[in-house]
């Protein structure tokens, strides 16, 4: 910070220049280091309300639980419903209620990490608040960010929200069973995603049957 | 929601500095908003103007600058703007890849933060 007094000595120019997201980003880096040092892979799951984030987190738990020790952190405005749904699949789950917050932030994750026994875990799945806008600005310290879109959101979800894809490592197109009824062509969604992020893995899933879950676990490097 | 939080942070920062400097008035505040933050400048302005009545910043001029997204390519060292591309349906989308060599693993260097560039206050 610099403070400059003008020539006539009557006005001051103060230049704080501290980024509003800086503290969160720094804390996210600390979280990531803690996860990494504990040998944990953390995944931040983004997507609209109803896209299938909880269903897919549950499906990943069901698929991996024999070989990996999993926990999940579920973010929602209120209720414990999602935590219970993932817990039912066989993982330890913490619910974070953000009250009115539209996203999780690194500090909430840090607090949640304090409640988990990290030395007993291999994978932590973090379900972010259902929102395709705000969570993007707040890194949590996960190794992967995955965005879940579903065909029920229509054919223009990708072109309407291109920026959510800026730093994700895997994209899921869920509810693939409903593509025909919704008259949504998944290949077109893939082409749109690849325009924004050439070459990024895009996995087609049916969260209810488990179709595509093995492929998703591989894309996130969770099954190694 | 997230605009209200940023607006409140801006107000808190301005008030803290104005107070420390013993300011009589805040004349002007310059704010930079990265285009990759999703923050709506009009909403932030609305929230600030809603909150500062009766304070030393009541008559301040709030100037917002938009900072474009920038990337760096580790393969060919390109550093610059994010280019856009048109889809089959004629939508223009940002391309998070190197416009020079096509490298997909690029680093985002600019546009993901927001900050106060300067607070101009009158002290006498
Ligand atoms: N038909 C179909 N329904 C699904 C699929 N995945 C999730 N659902 C349903 O979509 C609804 C919302 O899913 P949920 O996981 O709660 O979404 P979230 O808000 O993103 O966590 C639930 O009723 C799920 O059973 C899928 O692949 N196909
Ligand atoms: Mg959910
Ligand atoms: Zn390049």
What are the extents of the domains in chain A? 2-13+20-219
Interface size A-B, in CB pairs within 8 Å, comes to 108
| Overall CATH class of domain B2-68+111-123 | alpha beta
DSSP alpha helix (H) spans, A65-177: 81-87, 106-114, 157-160
Which bound ligand lies closest to the C-alpha atom of B97? 3
Residues 41-80 of B with CB under 8 A from A: none
- For chain B, 124 residues long, give each residue's pLDDT as a single digit of tens: 578 889 999 999 999 999 999 999 999 999 999 999 889 999 999 999 999 999 999 999 999 999 999 999 999 999 999 999 998 888 999 999 999 999 999 999 999 999 999 999 998 7
Q: How many CA atoms lie within 13 A of A204 on its CB side?
A: 12
Distance of CA A167 from the midpoint of ligand 1 (Å): 24
Domains of chain B by residue range: 2-68+111-123, 70-108
pLDDT in tens, chain A (224 residues): 667 776 666 888 999 878 999 999 999 999 999 999 999 999 999 999 999 999 999 999 999 999 999 999 998 777 888 888 999 898 889 988 877 778 899 999 999 999 999 999 999 999 999 988 888 889 999 999 999 999 999 999 999 999 999 999 999 999 999 999 999 999 999 999 999 999 999 999 999 999 999 999 999 999 98
Contact by Cβ (8 Å): A82, A76: yes
End-to-end alpha carbon distance in chain B: 37
Tokens of B57: 């910043």
Considering only CB atoms, which chain B residues are within 8 Å of A198?
A: 95, 97, 102, 104
Q: What predicted TM-score, i.e. pTM, was given to this entire model?
A: 0.91
C-alpha B122/C-alpha A63 separation (Å) is 64
For residue B78, the ligand closest to its alpha carbon is: 3
For ligand 2, a single-atom ion, the residues with CB < 5 A are: A 53-54, 82
Pairing of strands A123-127, B79-81: unpaired
**Cα angle B64-B70-B75, degrees, rounded to a multiple of 5:** 170
Topology (CATH) of A2-13+20-219: Rossmann fold (3.40.50)
User: Which ipTM was obtained for this model?
Assistant: 0.84
On chain B, the residues whose CB falls within 8 A of the CB of A25 are 113
């Amino acid at each position: 910070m610099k403070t400059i007094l003008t020539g006539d000595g009557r006005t001051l120019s103060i230049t704080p220049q501290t980024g509003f997201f800086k503290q969160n980003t720094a804390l996210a880096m600390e979280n990531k280091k803690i996860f990494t040092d504990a040998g944990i892979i953390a995944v931040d799951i983004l997507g609209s309300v109803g896209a299938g984030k909880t269903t897919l987190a549950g499906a990943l738990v069901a698929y991996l639980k024999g070989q990996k020790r999993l926990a999940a952190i579920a973010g929602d405005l209120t209720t414990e419903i999602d935590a219970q749904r993932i817990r039912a699949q066989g993982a330890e789950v913490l619910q974070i209620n953000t009250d009115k917050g539209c996203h999780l932030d690194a500090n909430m994750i840090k607090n949640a990490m304090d409640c988990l026994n990290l030395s007993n875990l291999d994978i932590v799945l973090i379900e972010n608040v259902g929102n395709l806008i705000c969570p993007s600005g707040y890194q949590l310290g996960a190794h992967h960010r995955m965005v879940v879109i579903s065909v029920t959101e229509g054919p223009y979800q990708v072109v309407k929200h291109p920026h959510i894809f800026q730093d994700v490592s895997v994209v899921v197109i869920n509810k693939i069973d409903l593509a025909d009824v919704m008259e949504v062509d998944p290949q077109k969604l893939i082409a749109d995603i690849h325009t924004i992020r050439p070459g990024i893995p895009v996995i087609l899933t049916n969260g209810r049957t488990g179709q595509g879950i093995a492929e998703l676990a591989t894309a996130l490097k969770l099954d190694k | 929601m997230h605009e209200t939080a940023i607006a409140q942070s801006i107000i808190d920062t301005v008030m803290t500095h104005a107070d420390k400097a013993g300011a009589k008035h805040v004349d002007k505040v310059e704010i930079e908003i990265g285009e990759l933050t999703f923050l709506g400048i009009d909403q932030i302005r609305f929230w600030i103007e809603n909150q500062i009545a009766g304070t030393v910043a009541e008559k301040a001029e709030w100037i917002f600058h938009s900072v474009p997204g920038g990337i760096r390519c580790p393969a060919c060292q390109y550093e610059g703007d994010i280019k856009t591309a048109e889809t089959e349906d004629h939508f223009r989308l940002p391309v998070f890849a190197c416009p020079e060599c096509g490298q997909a693993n690029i680093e985002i260097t600019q546009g993901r933060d927001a900050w106060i560039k300067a607070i101009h206050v009158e002290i006498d």
